[in-house]
């Protein structure tokens, strides 16, 4: 079920299904057999055929899965960032914690690595 975890919106299964379904429909409408469908034309035939080929279905399914994976990845990234910020606030001086909270991932790794005194 969708909810908040540590201030980060987690869409859960239903959110992933909705994003994946939306991405699949958009893919079908743009690149599949739905691309040739006339929706608002006055002269459009009432018998205009709507088809769904195996290729269009597979492509839409692939885009839907990719959309759901993207959403999950973004949520995971935000949860990791929030976890790191909370940990850093408890273990490092305020100036380093502030620097890490706004830094890109590579800079965060570099700063944490230097603060821990580790050598590579």
pLDDT digits (tens, 9 = 90+) for 92-113: 888 888 888 888 888 888 887 8
What pLDDT score was predicted for residue 105? Answer: 84
Q: What is the pLDDT of residue 34?
A: 74
Please tell me the predicted confidence (pLDDT) of residue 74. Answer: 92
Residue pointed to by tokens 């909705």: 18
Dihedral angle computed from the Cα positions of residues 88, 70, 68 and 100, in that order, rounded to the nearest 10 degrees: 10
Q: In this predicted structure, what is the pLDDT of residue 49?
A: 62
Percent of the chain with pLDDT over 90: 8
Largest Cα–Cα distance of the chain, in whole Å? 73
What average pLDDT does range 64-83 have in this prediction?
Answer: 90
How many residues would you count in the chain?
Answer: 120
Whether 48 shows a pLDDT value over 70: the answer reads: no
Structure tokens at 29: 């409408």
CB distance 93 to 114 below 8 Å: no
The per-residue pLDDT for 42 is 62
């Amino acid at each position: 079920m969708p909810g908040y975890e540590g201030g980060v919106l987690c869409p859960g299964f239903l959110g992933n299904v909705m994003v994946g379904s939306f991405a699949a429909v958009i893919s079908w409408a743009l690149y599949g057999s739905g691309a040739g469908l006339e929706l608002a034309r006055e002269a459009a035939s009432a018998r205009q055929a709507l088809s769904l080929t195996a290729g269009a279905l597979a492509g839409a399914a692939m885009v839907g899965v990719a959309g759901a994976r993207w959403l999950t990845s973004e949520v995971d990234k935000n949860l990791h960032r929030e976890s790191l910020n909370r940990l850093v606030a408890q273990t490092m001086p305020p100036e380093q914690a502030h620097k890490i909270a706004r830094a890109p991932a590579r800079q965060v790794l570099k700063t944490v690595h230097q603060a821990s005194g580790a050598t590579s």
